[in-house]
């Protein structure tokens, strides 16, 4: 659990901002959470999630006072109010940070926080955002034969330049999250 209970309420996607919510908004949020797979409902209320978000805001100084905003974004993604692939655009818009840092933060959230629940998250997002996630996920190498022939090390393009996973995919709109490679 975070340092104290107050920190938990600040960084918990479930509780953050709950005291400012009108009762009707809180009830609507509860209804959305009740419809989620149990793994996703647990994710947004788990103390480990709050600890992860607290550590994330401590790692990036410019996020130090924005823990509740990050927690709200996580909640919005989990309840499918925000598409997971839009996180790299939502983070700078909501937090006012540069796009490069936003990509780093989004990658950490997906690779560390969402990793254990990624399949359930994809299922919810496929239902809510039809057509934005492919029905059958295939590895990037299978969908692009020219890449399969000469696969560069992780984080490097075929030209040797640094890049973020998914940025070359036209259907991703340049987003850095390639959900097709997650299993």
For the chain, the domains span 5-131, 134-183
Q: What is the pTM of this model?
A: 0.69
Cα-Cα-Cα-Cα dihedral of 33, 94, 120, 128, to 10°? Answer: 80
Copy the structure tokens of residue 127. Answer: 């239902």
Burial of 147 (0-12, 13-18, 19+ CB in 10 A): middle
State the alpha helices, DSSP H only, in 46-86. Answer: 47-59, 67-78
End-to-end CA distance of the chain: 29
Q: Could you read off the pLDDT tens digit of each residue along the chain, which spans 183 residues?
A: 445 888 888 899 999 888 888 888 889 999 999 999 999 999 999 999 999 999 998 888 677 788 889 999 999 999 999 999 999 999 999 888 889 989 999 999 999 999 999 999 999 999 999 988 765 543 333 333 333 333 444 444 434 444 444 444 344 444 455 555 554
């Amino acid at each position: 659990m975070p340092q104290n209970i107050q920190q938990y309420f600040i960084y918990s996607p479930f509780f953050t901002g709950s005291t400012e919510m009108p009762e009707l908004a809180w009830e609507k949020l509860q209804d959305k959470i009740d419809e989620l797979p149990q793994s996703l409902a647990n994710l947004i209320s788990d103390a480990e999630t709050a600890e992860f978000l607290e550590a994330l805001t401590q790692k990036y100084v410019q996020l130090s006072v924005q823990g509740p905003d990050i927690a709200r974004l996580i909640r919005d993604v989990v309840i499918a109010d925000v598409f997971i692939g839009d996180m790299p655009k939502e983070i700078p818009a909501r937090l006012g940070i540069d796009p490069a840092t936003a990509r780093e933060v989004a990658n950490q959230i997906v690779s560390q926080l969402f990793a254990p629940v990624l399949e359930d998250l994809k299922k919810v997002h496929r239902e809510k955002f039809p057509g934005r996630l492919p029905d059958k996920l295939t590895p990037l190498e299978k969908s692009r034969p020219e890449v399969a022939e000469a696969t560069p090390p992780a984080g490097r393009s075929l030209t040797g330049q640094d890049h973020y996973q998914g940025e070359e995919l036209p259907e991703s709109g340049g987003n850095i999250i390639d959900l097709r490679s997650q299993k």
